Structure 1
Amino acid sequence: MKHFLKISIVFIAVIALVACSDNKKDGVYFSDYQLEQALRDIIEQPEGDILREDLLKITELDLTNKRIKSLDGMEYLDKVEVLNLQHNKIEDFSPLEEMDSLKEVNIGGNPYEQDTIATLESKNITVIAKVEVEVRGTPDGPGGFLWKVENGNTTVYLQGTIHIATEEFYPLNQKIEAAYAEADVIVPEIDFNNLNMLEMQATYLDFGMYQDGTTIRDHISEELYERLANTYEELGYSIEMFATYKPWFHSTLIQNLMTEQLGYIDGVDFYFLNRAEQDQKQVIGLETVEDQLSIFSDTSAEFQIAMLEESLIYIDELEQQMEEMFSLYLEGDAEKLLTYLLEEDAEPSPEEQAYMEALNDNRNYKMAEQIAQFLEEDSGDTYFVIVGSLHLLMEPHIRSILEQEGYEIEKVL
């Protein structure tokens, strides 16, 4: 009996192997774990072999945001006609060429090669490469300023932003959210999404620190130094932490620390940059960190000290100023906002004029030149430009420069 038992065990093992082999004939293998799990969820089969006959029941397939890298095995989904592959990490789409019934595929948000679309279209597959984004916002929501300019098949939206905000800003006006959703490319002043933070910090130090061994105390009056030290102390910091920074850096840092303490959050530009990262939209910056920091660092020591003195206001006074500015921005009242921001008690000095030209005029011409290039290339893409509101309101602003080049600007909001 033991002899026959041994033989039986051998035969059973062989039979089991044969059985497994037979099942494998109908089974389908997927090299990508995420793809396999997504399909298992769809056919409601958490384990065991995935049979080809189960896959033949699927005619429409949504695999959005599944972290899929490989499509190996997709050729077995013979009956799928509509396929959504948005927001994955797929580079090779060749398995789709073997899907006989496939009529339409959305590959937006994947790192595909440029010839991918043409290759798939040659197989009579309609390819959608644009990422579909949910339109948020409310019809009567706030949002400041929005314009539109077109050339051929290319559209550029110009959104005036503000760099800090409150919770009251959101949800934004639906027209702004719709412009963002339509956009293929997001165009901020600086592409913070793709910045190396260590390199950016090093750049700040290069522009903002004394390199000769001196400290801020060596460059300002003792009275101003005491005011600065007291301000830092009120904000919970020691001036010794920032002793080697130049006056312009202190003025911007003080304002940032105050707005942080007041509970303000990222502004409209950062809101959309965060969205762009989530939605895997392309981002093209109009400027660099160096471009912006040089505006401050290129001013004279006297001018920087004047900036520092002006920044040392009481936090409740800053809060009042910010609330007024927020209100005017959300109302979309360009004239009142300009009047509020640019009111002067006296005629500006030559250096103040030069500073404003560097801060506004020169940058506007450079940014308008890049925007005009988008329009002239006429790629068929839609661009969503998000810049500080003054760049679209204060002459010579981006809109007027583009109008001088012959473009028609349409106000959307």
Structure 2
Amino acid sequence: MHFHRKSKFLASACAAFAIAATTVGCAPAQTMSTPVASTQAPASSVGIEGPALWRVADEDTTIYVFGTVHALPDDVNWYSGTVKNALDSSDTLVTEIDMTPAAKAETAALFQRTATLPAGTTLRSLLTEEQRTDYEALLTEFGMPVNALDTVEPWGAALALSQIAFARAGIDGENGTEKVLEEKIGDRLGRDALETAAFQLEIFDGLPQDAQIDYLMETVTEIDTVVPMLNQIIAEWAEGDVDDLGALLNEALEADPVLADRMLYSRNKTWAGWIDERLDSPGTIFMAVGAGHLAGNRSVQDYLAERGISMTRVQ
């Protein structure tokens, strides 16, 4: 259905932002947090508004898990109160991929290598006449030459066009949650990453060519709707409305269970394993991952529950 096509694009665009925002664009001594009861609570019972923050703890380890949005307008104020205090009490910041300035430069170069088509092949040569007409019309609307992305694989072009649309609407990776966290901590915390940039790029690069073209053409045909939909996600995230965010993602992901597993479910399961293992080492961790991984079915929390571990909503 038409709605599902839009939703599938939105889900994949949002999941891409950790890498997309990068490409274009543990000490044992600390103040230990008191272990808390292992229950997950809705925002209404927590009584605090703001982006969702969870905590999982045992006798000598605390892991804060914060749901992020990888690109934001410049007028969204979220860094205060419980989130700031949690970060200040931590010894290590953990993100999906390494978001330090040096790593961002390496990732941009990796993107160029990974997303480049073989010599002699152009992106537009992979499209039907109808697809090419729609694609060229969008590039023209964006003020770009129609051959601007000819050397780029379809998935890379989809990400590039998404970023342009978001930037035109004032939604920028430079305002993204991880970028702000990096600026706030400077050199005072250790850093770790759950995945490599190469792994996240392979999520897209490993798609069959026809699936990549489908993704590109969904981007082209739904480009006028994606910004309002992302604004809706940002609003729900800012209010801490995990239930509505999860409902939106669940409906989106029903359209393509293979993509859902690739983008979210398998990664959520792996990250739950990371948390379980990290609880064996003392320390306080601030873990920042895309909010979509902490909402809806088969979330990180769900996979932790299978291991007998649950998280407390603290904001």
Alignment map for 1:60-75 (pairs within 5 Å): none
Task: Name the counterpart of 2:64.
Answer: 157
The whole-number CA distance in structure 2 between the counterparts of 1:270 and 1:335 is 26
Report if the CA contact (8 A) 1:295-1:358 is conserved.
Answer: yes
Task: Give the Cα–Cα distance (whole angstroms) in 2 for the partners of residues 231 and 249 of structure 1.
Answer: 16
Q: CA deviation at 1:223?
A: 2.1
Q: Aligned pair in 2 of structure 1 residues 267, 129: CA closer, same or farther (>3 Å)?
A: same
Matched residue SS, 2:140: helix
Aligned to 1:375: 279
**Equivalent AA in structure 1 for residue 134 of structure 2:** R
1:225 correspondence with 2:132: yes
* Partner in structure 2 of residue 329 of structure 1: 237
Mapped to 1, the partners of 2:49 and 2:221 lie a distance apart of 29
Whether contact under 8 Å (1:141, 1:173) holds in the other structure is no
Across the aligned residues of Structure 1 and Structure 2, the Cα RMSD in angstroms comes to 2.5
* Post-superposition offset of 1:342: 3.4
- Cα distance in 1 for partners of 2:286, 2:314 equals 13
Task: Give the secondary-structure state (helix, strand or coil) at the position aligned to 1:169.
Answer: coil
The alignment status of 1:248 with 2:150, answered yes or no, reads: no
Displacement after TM superposition at 1:172 (Å): 3.4
Give me the TM-score of the superposition, normalised by structure 2.
0.78
Shift of 1:407: 2.2
1:361 aligns with 2:265: yes
User: Is this contact kept in 2: 1:295–1:355, CA < 8 A?
Assistant: no
Distance change (3 Å), C-alpha of 1:390 and 1:319: closer
Give yes or no for the alignment of 1:343 onto 2:251: yes
Q: CA deviation at 1:313?
A: 4.1
AA in 2 matched with 1:387: V
Q: Does structure 2 retain, via aligned residues, the 8 Å contact 1:248–1:297?
A: yes
Q: 2:305 corresponds to which residue?
A: 403
Out of 203-212 and 295-304, give the one that drifted further: 203-212
- Partner amino acid for 1:240? N
Distance in 1 (CA, whole Å) between partners of 2:120 and 2:109 is 17
More off after superposition, 394-403 vs 143-152? 394-403
DSSP-derived class of the 2:147 partner: helix
* CA distance in 1: counterparts of 2:299 and 2:99, whole angstroms: 23
SS in 2 for 1:386: strand
Structure 1 residues 194 and 317, CA gap change in structure 2 (3 angstroms): closer
Secondary structure at the aligned position of 1:312 is classed as helix
Alpha-carbon separation, structure 1, partners of 2:121 and 2:53 = 46
In the TM superposition, residue 161 of structure 1 has moved relative to its aligned partner by: 0.9
Report the 3-state secondary structure (helix = DSSP H, G, I; strand = E; otherwise coil) of the residue aligned with 2:199: helix
User: Are residues 1:177 and 2:84 paired?
Assistant: yes
Equivalent residues in 2 for 1:26-65, closer than 5 Å: none
Q: Does 1:311 align with 2:219?
A: yes
Q: How does 1:59-138 map to 2 (within 5 A)?
A: none
Identity of aligned residues (%): 24
Whether the 8 Å contact between 2:301 and 2:310 is mirrored in structure 1 is no
**Is the contact made by 1:144 and 1:329 (CA closer than 8 Å) also made in structure 2?**
yes
Q: Is the 8 A contact 1:299 1:355 kept in 2?
A: no
Distance of 2:292 and 2:222 partners within structure 1 = 25
Instruction: Confirm or deny: 8 A CA contact 1:141 1:174 kept in the other structure.
Output: no
Q: State the one-letter code of the partner of 2:312.
A: E
Identify the match of residue 50 of structure 2 among 137, 143, 159: 143
For residues 204 and 142 of structure 2, the distance between their equivalents in structure 1, rounded to whole angstroms, comes to: 23
Residue aligning to 1:272: 181
Q: TM-score, normalised by structure 1?
A: 0.61
Deviations 1:272-296, CA, capped at 9 Å, x for gaps: 12222x2531110111111111111
**Preserved contact between residue 30 and residue 284 of structure 2 (Cα < 8 Å):** no
In structure 2, what is the equivalent of residue 199 of structure 1?
A: 106
CA distance in 1, matches of 2:249, 2:294: 14
Q: How many residues were matched structurally?
A: 272
| Selected match of 2:292 from 372, 390, 408 | 390
Shift of 1:168: 3.6
Residues 143 and 169, structure 1, Cα contact 8 Å, conserved in 2 = no
Question: Is this contact kept in 2: 1:159–1:386, CA < 8 A?
Answer: yes
Using a 3 Å threshold, how does the CA distance of structure 1 residues 264 and 344 change in structure 2: closer, same or farther? closer
SS in 2 for 1:290: helix
Q: Distance in 1 between matches of 2:274 and 2:190?
A: 16
Larger Rg: 1
Aligned in 2, Cα 1:193/1:233: closer, same or farther, shift over 3 Å? Answer: same
Q: State the AA in 2 paired with 1:282.
A: G
